Amino acid sequence: MDFDRLVSVMRRLALEAGDRIMQIYESPDFDVKTKSDSSPVTEADEAADALISEGLAEAFPQLALVTEEQSASHGQSVKTFLIVDPLDGTKEFVQRRGDFTVNIAYVENGVPLRGVVYAPAKGRLFYTLADGRSVEELGAFDKEHPGEQKPITVSVPDNRALMVVASKSHRDQATDDYIARYAVADMTSAGSSLKFCLVATGEADLYPRLGRTMEWDTAAGDAVLRGAGGEMVRFEDHSPFTYGKDGFANPFFIAYAPGVMLVK
């Protein structure tokens, strides 16, 4: 894989999708439909999905492509593929809270090696470089010429005073009970895959998720986290977290900075 080209294409498509999403987000009104799993979908999800899918298929026709909005056509497991959530945090989008992201990742042998997470309403752009290291890009986000790339790295956590981030729309009692088993200095809520990025930048130490997610929800954020020195494991046994599972459903998980003393 030509990782220089891959990263360039993923970054450009994420920015282009972000522009289209923001056009709809800033409009007076937009349509919201309900999918078969009762989750919302908007014209922004569909427009971003079409834009990214077309761009990836043209650039990398040899790679399997899995996207949230076209997931019904991908029932069997694969190990090397591109995976897209064109608008993660649709509930935040609908409620105009801004915590939504564009997510594109490349998975090889079950591991998300490269990824981009773009939060257009927040003006934050995170991605892995060709060598696998993660950065946050600063500046105007020119589509052809990257601006200043600030290397990011996870924190050195203090287990007596952890910084925890949890879901804004999917917080439940089980999550609160688990977090209560740690010594927490501060806690914040965030939507979408931004939670991974907050751990990747050292703004949080720990992100547990005891709820339903799909691989497209996590792959890009997981790639950014890994490229910043972070880790993601299965909740029940702390075993490695992998991608390309049948149906693309995730188990519960914990994303964290190494040094956090995980509890079971």
Residues making up the binding site? 68, 85, 87-90, 217
Q: Which tokens is 100 given?
A: 């939504």
Pairwise CA distance, residues 232 & 15, whole Å: 26
Nearest to 153 by CA among 222, 218, 219, 225: 225
Q: Which tokens is 29 given?
A: 């009104």
CA angle 125, 195, 56 (to 5 degrees): 45
Bridge partners (DSSP) of residue 32 are 42
Residue stretches of the annotated binding site for Mg(2+): 68, 85, 87-88, 217
Residue stretches of the annotated binding site for substrate: 68, 87-90, 217
Pairwise CA distance, residues 169 & 93, whole Å: 12
Bridge partners (DSSP) of residue 85 are 103
